[in-house]
A = this chain, B = another copy of it.
Amino acid sequence: MVRPGDEFRVECREWTDAQIGNNDSANDVRDVDLKACHMLSGPIGVEGAEPGDLLVVDILDLGPVPQQVGDAPGEAWGYTGVFAKANGGGFLTDYFPDAYKAIWDFHGQVATSRHLPGVRFTGITHPGLFGTAPSKELLQRWNRREQALIDTDPDRIPPLGLTPEPDQALAGQATGSDAERVAQEGARTVPARENGGNHDIKNFTRGSRVFYPVHVADAKLSGGDLHFSQGDGEITFCGAIEMGGYIDFHVDLIKGGMEKYGVTTNPVFMPGNVEPRYSDFISFIGISVDHDTDTNYYLDATVAYRRACLNAVEYLKRFGYTGQQAYLLLGAAPIEGRISGIVDIPNACCSLYLPTGIFDFDVRPTAEGPKATDRGQCAVTT
């Protein structure tokens, strides 16, 4: 329990509880057990919080585990993974169906990777996941609507959604039938929902202020899934640079804030003012057409952003990266994904902004063409 006005620190385990190692094989990514994920910290009750309030959360600071060298993610290193299609997949899973991994070394605010030579950037540290507790009614709504979606194609791989998973469920201090009910009804933490949740918004960084809807007494804030960096979309699924670490909060309340500000569903937030400053970008465009099959989709921003990502991958391959390396890079580096045009029927248009300053070579198009050099490869399965 904390009080409005309090400042406090929360320590967070890396989201898979350190199943992934600092090595050159992607076998651990391929074989990861996702049943217990995400590992969360909390819940933290806020005195006086009632349904209808807005919980004001300032992210004062956030960083990896403060040790200098260590074994667990967050102790001076982190990782980015591409999940295999059979185990969750990612945004480009039809193009990259296997498991891959890149290990990142932290140098203060900067990350480099032996699996991605030529790249060096400042991380925008942020929590992938924080949120308040849902009310019983809200939880039932989630389970109902997600089950309805899953039912439209229940055998799909990867699945359309995940139902409550009793195996490895954490029920806190509950026991007996209570604990059983928690395990049976507790929603998985994969998606973002009305309570916040797994937003994976890279701009929830230091200095940000988030206004979470409160659905139960005491608000009950919990979360984790700290990221050293992430590109918009977190496209490889485990696409951020994952780590364990700490996060410092200040909390406050706006009583009746949901009604006052018309917040009926998702949180509102104000990003901080310390994101790294990049001024030059090479940008890629995608439209809602599958060019491989010449199929047109109607204002589908998901298809459009996927094409922008694929266009970026092709481009980076010309400089010597493998497609897998490029995919990992776009998941982890501070790229921006924009919805540029969403009304010009039938084609949505999305764009992806890749900062040129993260490369130690000139990545811009020139008349001479790109200078491709051997850039090694990422960690693969063996």
Check A295 against B365 for contact (C-beta < 8 Å). Answer: no
What does the 1/0 interface line of A96-118 toward B look like (CB < 8 Å)?
00000000000111100000000
Please report A residues at the B interface, Cβ cutoff 8 Å.
7, 9, 54, 56, 58-61, 66, 68, 90-91, 107-110, 122, 141, 144-146, 148-150, 158-162, 190-194, 198-203, 206-207, 211, 232-237, 239, 248, 250, 252-257, 260-287, 289, 291, 294-302, 305, 307-308, 311, 314-315, 317-318, 336-351, 353, 356-357, 364-367, 369-370
Which residues in B have their C-beta under 8 angstroms from that of A150?
A: 346
Check A344 against B280 for contact (C-beta < 8 Å). Answer: no
Interface residue from B110, B260, B283, B300 paired with A207 (Cβ < 8 Å): B110
- Given the known interface contacts A160-B345, A291-B264, A337-B339, the answer about A283 and B203 at a Cβ–Cβ threshold of 8 Å is yes
* Sample (10) of A-B pairs whose CB atoms are under 8 Å apart: A146-B296, A149-B346, A160-B346, A190-B345, A254-B366, A264-B291, A266-B307, A271-B281, A274-B275, A302-B342
* 14 further interface pairs, Cβ-Cβ under 8 Å (given A236-B343, A266-B307): A56-B365, A107-B248, A108-B248, A145-B294, A148-B295, A190-B345, A191-B287, A194-B291, A201-B349, A261-B365, A269-B282, A300-B302, A302-B302, A305-B339
Which residues in B have their C-beta under 8 angstroms from that of A233?
A: 339-343
- Given the known interface contacts A268-B283, A302-B301, the answer about A190 and B149 at a Cβ–Cβ threshold of 8 Å is no
Interface residue from B9, B60, B201, B299 paired with A285 (Cβ < 8 Å): B201
State the CA gap A365–B213 with chains docked (Å): 13
Can you name the residue of chain B whose Cβ is closest to the Cβ of A237? Answer: B343
State the CA gap A66–B315 with chains docked (Å): 39
State the CA gap A297–B134 with chains docked (Å): 20
State the CA gap A76–B327 with chains docked (Å): 41
Q: A73 to nearest B CB, angstroms?
A: 18
Check A314 against B262 for contact (C-beta < 8 Å). Answer: yes
Check B276 against A276 for contact (C-beta < 8 Å). Answer: no
Check A273 against B280 for contact (C-beta < 8 Å). Answer: yes
Check A344 against B145 for contact (C-beta < 8 Å). Answer: no
Can you name the residue of chain B whose Cβ is closest to the Cβ of A211? Answer: B365
- Given the known interface contacts A260-B370, A264-B314, the answer about A341 and B199 at a Cβ–Cβ threshold of 8 Å is yes
State the CA gap A356–B307 with chains docked (Å): 32
State the CA gap A144–B293 with chains docked (Å): 12
State the CA gap A12–B114 with chains docked (Å): 32
Which residues in B have their C-beta under 8 angstroms from that of A260?
A: 318, 365, 369-370
Check A294 against B141 for contact (C-beta < 8 Å). Answer: yes
Check B273 against A234 for contact (C-beta < 8 Å). Answer: no
State the CA gap A257–B301 with chains docked (Å): 27
Which residues in B have their C-beta under 8 angstroms from that of A345?
A: 158-162, 190-191
Check A145 against B273 for contact (C-beta < 8 Å). Answer: no
- Given the known interface contacts A285-B192, A338-B232, the answer about A277 and B273 at a Cβ–Cβ threshold of 8 Å is yes
State the CA gap A342–B301 with chains docked (Å): 10
Which residues in B have their C-beta under 8 angstroms from that of A274?
A: 109, 122, 274-277
Which residues in B have their C-beta under 8 angstroms from that of A145?
A: 289, 294-296
Check B109 against A201 for contact (C-beta < 8 Å). Answer: no
- Given the known interface contacts A302-B348, A340-B233, the answer about A266 and B285 at a Cβ–Cβ threshold of 8 Å is yes
Q: A35 to nearest B CB, angstroms?
A: 15
State the CA gap A159–B266 with chains docked (Å): 31
Interface residue from B107, B141, B162, B285 paired with A199 (Cβ < 8 Å): B285
Q: A83 to nearest B CB, angstroms?
A: 9
Which residues in B have their C-beta under 8 angstroms from that of A297?
A: 149
Q: A224 to nearest B CB, angstroms?
A: 14
User: Most chain-B Cβ atoms within 10 A of its Cβ — which of A108, A232, A272?
Assistant: A108
